[in-house]
A and B are shown apart, each in its own frame.
Chain A
Amino acid sequence: MTTTAERATPTTSAAPRGNPWWPSWRGVGLVTRIELTRRRPTTKGYIFYGILVAAILGLGILVAALAPPGKTSTPMELVLILVLGAGLLIAPSLSSTSINGDSSEGVLAPMQMTRLTAGDLALGKLLASWLFAVAVLITTTPLLVYAFSRSGWHWYELIAVLGAILFAVLTFTAIGLAWSALAARAVASVSLAHLTTGFLVLGTLVIYAFAMPLVSENVTVTDRYVDYGTLTPDEQEAYEAGELDYSTVQCTEQTYETSVVHTDTIAWLLLLNPVVVIGEAAPVVNPNTYEEDDRAAPGAFALMHQAVGGAQLGSQGAPLGYDECGDPNSQAWSDQWDQQQEEQALFPRNPWLGLALQAVLLVGAMGIVIRRLRVPYKKLRAGTRVA
């Protein structure tokens, strides 16, 4: 009797044991599908999207037609920054209303009642929001292809940077999702998600700026120059004509105090910045030999890398003083400048610290989300009901 009844409904699999939370491919895929179908654009949305794609295509063609010949990485960097910016705005906005929004709409608990686990729901929601950022990337493809052709980058370098961008977006999407699991109201979780993004993008720079005085040191610099008052009238004439023999005249020295900042001790603050991570993933361009290297002139990313490289190198002792008598054309100073520029620009790429931070945030955020999605609830978000 029981067996026939069971045979009549062979559809539901055996009763589950315990209270599993781990995700399955099938569960994550289903939740992603549900989320994407739910947020499927309306006809108006598709029209808007079509206009956007047309505008981007048009812009791409226009830029391609008007651009001067020669290599330049600027369009490439603009597109990548656009993708990063749009991704960091759109995906966390979606994810940060995904859980508390569903809960107040009353569609979360019915899902939790099914065989979907907390892991399925968490990863599915993460992926669905993240895929919107991927859609932005795909939308910009025409522009990206053109920009890439002129950038002097190699394809694997582009892949690395795109990977870094999508990973950053994934991390901030997860953080948005965690806020949405923690805060009862959508207003709170959306603002907290964007504040977190803002803190890492701008906050790290502000803290870096404020930390600089703490690691600065006073040093004494000595300038040497010709003591004009002791020169004979003939020598003064020669000096003004720039024909003075410096070895025969008397020089005076003047010392002054200045401060140097040991930025190498606080450069890690910059390396935590997600935008810096993107720059660090971008190719290194040698400012002195880029033409022979078949590269474009250093663009925004290369200059950012150079600045961050300089910060990591820090200040090596006191700066050179001006020595009019020993080196009237400031050759040493200029040599040192060039050498420093190259040293900073060629400083090894270091996206690892930032990537590690993002990985920790990603895993931590998803841990919070899964814990908060597990039923039976021990605790409820203050001011909410189960639904």
Chain B
Amino acid sequence: MEKLDEKSGATLVALPPVMSAHGVRRSFGAVHAVVDANLEVAPGTVTALIGPNGCGKTTLMLMLAGLLLPDDGEISVGGADPRKDSAAVRNAIGWMPDQLGAWDNLTCLQTLTLVGRAYRLPKAVARERGAEVLGTVHLSEFADRPARVLSRGQKQRLSLARALMNDPQVLMLDEPANGLDPRSRVELRQLVRGFAAQGRAVLVSSHVLSELDEMVDEAVFMSKGKTLGADTDAMVADARTRYRIESLDDSVLRDAFAHWDMPFEEVDGGLVIRAQNKEHAASILEALVKGGAKVHRFGPFGSALEQTYMAMNEERR
């Protein structure tokens, strides 16, 4: 949690967004996939795009990637408008699609070398970069194996490697954690954070919200084709202030909170309170322990994103 607060505090200061969308709309015939999407992604940050299945996340990502034309609205990626300079937009982006596809007969290294050459890298450079990127996604031992022998998670990582080949300013990952084993997820998180630390931007959509919690600085919630702005931001911020306390005897806690006039919620097996910041949380804990409460657990209450997601869905029901 502390990571999150620090990062969002540090990065939101001044840098103009490298990718932005305002009032973006897109429909396929009678289906309004994206109705009104607004988002900004600043360099050096990781932004999550969260929403239920079919809410328009992938469609929005396709429009941001310069693969699909919006019906209306403004998009800018690295200063280029996909309507006019769509090639520049695509060139600035590393896109990992939700659909996994690889050339079955080609080896991983061949695949990446050819992708590198499609980005107009000279052959030797493309090969070198391919080997390097394979190392980044921990697929080096599969460099000379054909893509068809890869497992789902390995294909996922090859797809990520492909997105990294052009050294993009913006990395867009559509459901990157699907099919990854726990170790690969940790590695994905590290990779994404490392990428952002180089001053680049990442936009990631995922259903594994607990995973995102530890990875992202910003979250954009989407529902029925609309991005939910300030409301959900406030909900996330609020969710992040919630602490769960478990003790051997909760009545001591209740008494203490009543005495301090501090609101609390009862949850299964403990109490939930709000702390304004880390210092506040520390002082509460200190006071509780001094007051004789036998606290055996004290920590953030679940995933802030998950809480917001569930709350958002309840409101929309």
Chain A residues at the B interface, C-beta cutoff of 8 Å: 9, 11-13, 15-20, 26-27, 30, 33-34, 37-40, 102, 105-116, 375-378, 380, 385-387
Q: A11-B129, A16-B88, A34-B114 are in contact. Are A115 and B67 (CB under 8 A)?
A: no
CB of B85 within 8 A of CB of A106, answer no
10 nearest CB pairs, A to B = A106-B101, A114-B118, A106-B99, A16-B87, A107-B101, A387-B99, A376-B69, A19-B86, A15-B88, A375-B67
CB distance from B34 to the nearest CB of A (A): 13
Tell me if B288 counts as interface (CB < 8 A to partner A).
no
Q: A16-B88, A18-B85, A387-B99 are in contact. Are A115 and B118 (CB under 8 A)?
A: yes
CB distance from A267 to the nearest CB of B (A): 47
Among the 9-residue stretches B119-127, B176-184, B219-227, B262-270, the one with 4 or more Cβ atoms under 8 Å from chain A is B119-127
User: Bound state CA distance, A107 and B147, in angstroms?
Assistant: 12
Q: Which of A9, A12, A386 sits near B120, CB closer than 8 Å?
A: A12
User: Bound state CA distance, A153 and B82, in angstroms?
Assistant: 58
CB of A12 within 8 A of CB of B119, answer yes
CB of B103 within 8 A of CB of A38, answer yes
Main SS class of interface, A: loop
Q: A385-B99, A386-B62, A387-B97 are in contact. Are A109 and B67 (CB under 8 A)?
A: yes
Q: Which of B68, B95, B100, B103 sits near A113, CB closer than 8 Å?
A: B95
CB of A378 within 8 A of CB of B69, answer yes
B74-128 interface with A by 8 A CB criterion = 78, 80, 82-88, 90-93, 95, 97, 99-106, 110, 114-115, 117-122, 125
Q: Which of A102, A108, A377 sits near B68, CB closer than 8 Å?
A: A377
CB of B68 within 8 A of CB of A386, answer yes
Q: A11-B129, A116-B118 are in contact. Are A376 and B66 (CB under 8 A)?
A: yes
B173-211 interface with A by 8 A CB criterion = none
CB of A110 within 8 A of CB of B69, answer no
CB distance from B18 to the nearest CB of A (A): 14
CB distance from B136 to the nearest CB of A (A): 15
Number of A-B contacts (CB under 8 A): 120
Chain B residues at the A interface, C-beta cutoff of 8 Å: 28, 58, 62-63, 65-69, 78, 80, 82-88, 90-93, 95, 97, 99-106, 110, 114-115, 117-122, 125, 129, 159, 162, 166-167
User: Bound state CA distance, A66 and B174, in angstroms?
Assistant: 66
Extra contacts, 8 of them, besides A110-B162, A387-B97 (Cβ < 8 A), are A16-B85, A19-B84, A30-B118, A37-B114, A109-B67, A115-B87, A376-B86, A377-B67
User: Bound state CA distance, A107 and B115, in angstroms?
Assistant: 11
Q: A12-B166, A18-B85, A376-B68 are in contact. Are A111 and B118 (CB under 8 A)?
A: yes
**Which residues of B sit under 8 angstroms from A102, Cβ to Cβ?**
101
User: Bound state CA distance, A27 and B90, in angstroms?
Assistant: 16
CB of A110 within 8 A of CB of B95, answer yes
**Which residues of B sit under 8 angstroms from A11, Cβ to Cβ?**
121-122, 125, 129, 167
CB of A115 within 8 A of CB of B120, answer yes
User: Bound state CA distance, A11 and B91, in angstroms?
Assistant: 13
CB of A40 within 8 A of CB of B105, answer yes
User: Bound state CA distance, A9 and B198, in angstroms?
Assistant: 14
Shortest Cβ distance from A105 into B: residue: B101
CB of B65 within 8 A of CB of A113, answer yes
Shortest Cβ distance from A102 into B: residue: B101
CB distance from A120 to the nearest CB of B (A): 9
CB of B65 within 8 A of CB of A30, answer no
Shortest Cβ distance from A382 into B: residue: B29
CB of B84 within 8 A of CB of A18, answer yes
CB distance from B30 to the nearest CB of A (A): 12
CB of A387 within 8 A of CB of B120, answer no
User: Bound state CA distance, A137 and B162, in angstroms?
Assistant: 37
CB distance from A95 to the nearest CB of B (A): 17
User: Bound state CA distance, A15 and B92, in angstroms?
Assistant: 8
User: Bound state CA distance, A113 and B87, in angstroms?
Assistant: 8
Shortest Cβ distance from A30 into B: residue: B117
**Which residues of B sit under 8 angstroms from A115, Cβ to Cβ?**
87, 91, 118-120
What are 23 inter-chain pairs, A to B, with CB distance below 8 A? A11-B121, A11-B125, A12-B166, A12-B167, A15-B88, A18-B85, A19-B84, A19-B86, A20-B87, A37-B105, A38-B103, A39-B105, A102-B101, A109-B95, A110-B97, A113-B67, A114-B119, A115-B87, A376-B68, A376-B86, A377-B67, A385-B99, A387-B97
